[in-house]
Amino acid sequence: MASVIESGWLYLITHFSDFQLSCLGSFFLHESIFFLSGFPFIFLERSGFLSQFKIQSKNNSPAAQERCISRLILYHLGVNLPLLITSYPVFRYMGMRSTLPLPSWKVAATQVIFYFILEDFVFYWGHRILHTRWLYKHVHSVHHEYATPFGLTSEYAHPAEILFLGFATIIGPAITGPHLITLWLWMVLRVLETVEAHCGYHFPWSLSNFLPLYGGADFHDYHHRLLYTKSGNYSSTFVYMDWIFGTDKGYRRLKALKSKHADELSKVQ
């Protein structure tokens, strides 16, 4: 398997420059993973398929979904792509490379785990700041236009927020200067995680059912249902920051009440 990956990587670095791979390649990879993982949830919402796993009964209109997609394309081309291009010199300066040999799986895994931990910490505080009155009204309220989120709404946000919270995603790689393939792995996992957190469905196979402290869709959907400062649940991937600072108390109370109600129903039956 390693030899196959190395052969494929050799082809890429032979036919494309480091700049092309780092900027255009990263952009193409992001767009592919984001839209391919996000579009199925539009289909599920419109068709009603697997509706028993939908967290909210409310659905978005096709017009609202289409507006989200058109805005996303505009933001990705007007904000994300220029950000990739302008940040390229910084990553190069910090040691990012695309040449062979590829990093070992241990090195790549360690770096990605570090990125998740650091991103969780930085994102929590940035997200919590965005829920202060002025910033919520003028910036973060754009993301909360969709009180019933679906996968693609994960990146629907004010351009200022894209830059502000995007810092949480890139600070880890900027510090460590990883191999480009590690950066791509981090990008793919982060995109899949945030799409899942906004998908609006809690399945039996959802990661939050198996990974301790993993937030997932049920945790983040609660954040979208409540507006402004009372929502809590500010965490990104894992929920330890909300637990430490007590900003998930409302969510935990609701879960406890639902669990108690379910137990009472089972006893009656």
Reading the block at residue 82, the tokens are 């220029």
Average pLDDT, the chain: 93
pLDDT in tens, 32-55: 999 999 999 999 999 999 999 999
* Residue 261: exposure state from Cβ atoms within 10 A (0-12, 13-18, ≥19): exposed
User: In whole angstroms, what is the distance from residue 19 CA to residue 180 CA?
Assistant: 11
For the chain (length 269 residues), average pLDDT per consecutive 10?
88 97 97 98 96 95 97 97 94 94 96 97 96 94 95 97 94 95 98 98 96 95 79 93 94 83 58
Query: Would you state the pLDDT for residue 267?
Result: 60
Query: Would you state the pLDDT for residue 225?
Result: 85
Query: Would you state the pLDDT for residue 261?
Result: 60
User: In whole angstroms, what is the distance from residue 78 CA to residue 114 CA?
Assistant: 29
Q: Determine how many CB atoms are found less than 10 A away from the CB of residue 130.
A: 21
